[in-house]
Amino acid sequence: MKNIYIIGIGLIGGSLAKDIKKLHPDAVIHGISRKESTLDEALSLNLIDKKATLDDVAKADLVIIAIPVDATVKILPSVLDRISDTGLVVDAGSTKVDICKVVENHPKRRNFLAMHPIAGTEYSGPSAAISGLFVGKTNIICEVEKTTFKLQEKALDLFKAIGMRIRYMNPEAHDKHIAYVSHLSHISSFMLGKTVIDKERNERDIFDMAGSGFASTVRLAKSSPEMWTPIFEQNKQNVIETLEEYINNLTHFKELMKANDFDAIYKEMKNTNHIKDILKGIS
Amino acid sequence: MKNIYIIGIGLIGGSLAKDIKKLHPDAVIHGISRKESTLDEALSLNLIDKKATLDDVAKADLVIIAIPVDATVKILPSVLDRISDTGLVVDAGSTKVDICKVVENHPKRRNFLAMHPIAGTEYSGPSAAISGLFVGKTNIICEVEKTTFKLQEKALDLFKAIGMRIRYMNPEAHDKHIAYVSHLSHISSFMLGKTVIDKERNERDIFDMAGSGFASTVRLAKSSPEMWTPIFEQNKQNVIETLEEYINNLTHFKELMKANDFDAIYKEMKNTNHIKDILKGIS
């Protein structure tokens, strides 16, 4: 792997750049971005070696697309149009159905691998990139059978060297399940933040009483709306379904409180308490 | 301060014991608990020097009550019945209205100080006690004017030495505001955990896809139902009100998604994004 092109040098693209450069010091990492200022920042942070444009990907051994999922859907066909027979294109989007669909009949479909590395922080942009972000983290690969065997192998060798745990899934199952363990958490956090901020307008000093528990539950409300709006749009049906289940559970909890059924409230919490054991494997 | 009695040697009581022992190496820390096994554990962890019973508090310079808030309401009058004229009783409960109310006409009311140190982790029991838990954390004191001046002074000197930031508030304002920044976060976490656990029953491997974002939002669902059920019961009206606002915000978000109004979805998130600046001072 000599020529690597990364489209979008933010948290994910920049962190991948760092890990790849460490594994392949001779590789040349080219950055592509809509914004010149992002490329300048990425250069000054040593995330990339050179600036490039879309037409340059004809020379790529590997192209990584790490931009918002609506932009990925738009740009992915043009990237595949330009890729060489031995070049590999991967995307790192948080949704997989629309992205896989837009290239399903593309003549170069076999040069594409759809992935979703489940790693990140609530920060964004080149300065958010960190080394080792993907160590021990799950990377979900969709429709692996649609990628040329040699390019599959190349990609998996790289992902494993970076430290990722690989899981295979179809795009529909990915989008459905990720709505529960990622997309819903973000909405929960954003709306919790909103509820308290709205209250603070009338009742000052509320935040002076906030502790680490509050900070933990609203941490994801710091996330980028530019990145998350298209995710919710592409995964609309699944997200609405999870939101409805969540709202029903909250409403049930509220009704139990109104009915003074605190034995049932206790049981609701006790039954969820074994999340302890589940979380042991995660954080 | 020679003789200190701590009723309930868990996360909060045990952590206070550690800090006090460090500041006053000559003090004798006596532990009181319903369960003999808790006292044995606290002794073996060096959190307390001696076991004691309720009647012994007549000899106390300071009594700290750090047990679930329903138990505090029950035991507090008997502790005050036994306290000497120069003894101070403080409680560390997460609600303040019911606790202040139960002793409002007690002849020893002036020997009592109501506080709520906003510190903790999702763990409980003697083994959860840690040194320095309260450094930089807010400790809310209610009805300070109802405590003898000399005992106020004694308590505040200790709290400041432990590193706490002191805030004064009446019990009603405390219970109303804490519902937003603490109690609601716990319900949000528990119900998020429940929503995903329920789904996992039918769709395996969901948790294999969970990342640090999910772990952060459901962390509080590890909390003790024994401690939280009475908190929700005592703060019922305020908690129901916050829950209704939260559910309304989530429902509005869902309706915007259904209406495909993703510009409004973007704005909802953008408007909450400045939680970044608010959280800077917390975690």
Q: Using one digit for the tens of pLDDT, what is the confidence trace for B17-48?
A: 999 999 999 999 999 999 999 999 999 999 99
Distance from CA of B127 to the nearest CA of A (A): 16
Please, what's the b/e burial string for A3-12 (b: 16 or more CB within 10 A of its CB; e: otherwise)? bbbbbbbbbb
Q: Percentage of chain A with pLDDT > 90?
A: 89
The per-residue pLDDT of chain A, averaged, comes to 95
Q: A69 touching B, CB under 8 A? A: no
Do residues A54 and A103 both lie within one domain?
Answer: yes
pLDDT at B202 over 90: no
- With cut-offs at 50, 70 and 90, classify the pLDDT of residue B100: very high
Q: Tell me the CATH number at A236.
A: 1.10.3660.10
Do residues A157 and A18 both lie within one domain?
Answer: yes
The per-residue pLDDT of chain B, averaged, comes to 95
Do residues A196 and A159 both lie within one domain?
Answer: no
The answer for A 112-131 residues in CB contact with B (under 8 A) is 118-122
Which of A111, A177, A240 minimizes the C-alpha distance to B253? A240
Q: Tell me the CATH number at B40.
A: 3.40.50.720
Tell me whether residues B118 and A193 touch, CB distance under 8 A. no
What's the pLDDT at A278?
A: 81
- With cut-offs at 50, 70 and 90, classify the pLDDT of residue B83: very high
- Interface with A, mutate which of B188, B236, B261, B271 (most A CBs under 10 A): B188
Tell me whether residues B229 and A265 touch, CB distance under 8 A. yes
What's the pLDDT at B282?
A: 67
Q: A221 touching B, CB under 8 A? A: yes
Do residues B165 and B42 both lie within one domain?
Answer: yes
Do residues B161 and B178 both lie within one domain?
Answer: no
> Which residue, of B169, B187, B205, is where some domain finishes?
B169
Helix B236-258 with B184-202: angle, nearest 10 deg: 50
Q: B137 touching A, CB under 8 A? A: yes
What's the pLDDT at A157?
A: 97
Do residues B124 and B261 both lie within one domain?
Answer: no
- Interface with B, mutate which of A185, A226, A273 (most B CBs under 10 A): A185
pLDDT at B283 over 60: no
Tell me whether residues A236 and B225 touch, CB distance under 8 A. no
List of long-range contacts for B34-40, beta carbons under 8 Å, 24+ apart: B38/B9, B38/B10, B38/B125, B38/B126, B39/B9
> Which residue, of A169, A198, A226, is where some domain finishes?
A169
> Which residue, of B119, B140, B169, is where some domain finishes?
B169
Do residues A248 and A202 both lie within one domain?
Answer: yes
- With cut-offs at 50, 70 and 90, classify the pLDDT of residue A112: very high
Do residues B163 and B189 both lie within one domain?
Answer: no
Number of domains in chain B: 2
The answer for A 189-218 residues in CB contact with B (under 8 A) is 189-199, 203, 205-218
Give me the domain span that covers residue B276: 174-280
Chain B residues with CB under 8 Å of A203 CB are 176-177
User: Which residue reads 């020997």 in tokens?
Assistant: B111
Residue B194: which of A194, A210, A272 has the nearest Cβ? Answer: A272
Closest-approach residue (CA) in chain B for A206: B177
Q: Out of B141-145, B172-176, B209-213, which region has the weakest mean confidence (pLDDT)? A: B209-213
Do residues B11 and B131 both lie within one domain?
Answer: yes
Q: Percentage of chain B with pLDDT > 90?
A: 89
Distance from CA of B237 to the nearest CA of A (A): 9
pLDDT at A182 over 80: yes
Do residues B164 and B181 both lie within one domain?
Answer: no
Do residues B83 and B107 both lie within one domain?
Answer: yes
Do residues B254 and B164 both lie within one domain?
Answer: no
DSSP chain A: --EEEEE--SHHHHHHHHHHHHH-TTPEEEEE-S-HHHHHHHHHTTS-SEE--GGGGGG-SEEEE-S-HHHHHHHHHHHHHH--TT-EEEE--S--HHHHHHTTT-TTGGGEEEEEE----S--SGGG--TTTTTT-EEEEE-GGGS-HHHHHHHHHHHHHHTPEEEEE-HHHHHHHHIIIIIHHHHHHHHHHHHHHHHHHHSTTGGGG--HHHHHHHGGGGS-HHHHHHHHHHTHHHHHHHHHHHHHHHHHHHHHHHTT-HHHHHHHHHHHTTHHHHHHTT-
Chain A residues with CB under 8 Å of B239 CB are 257
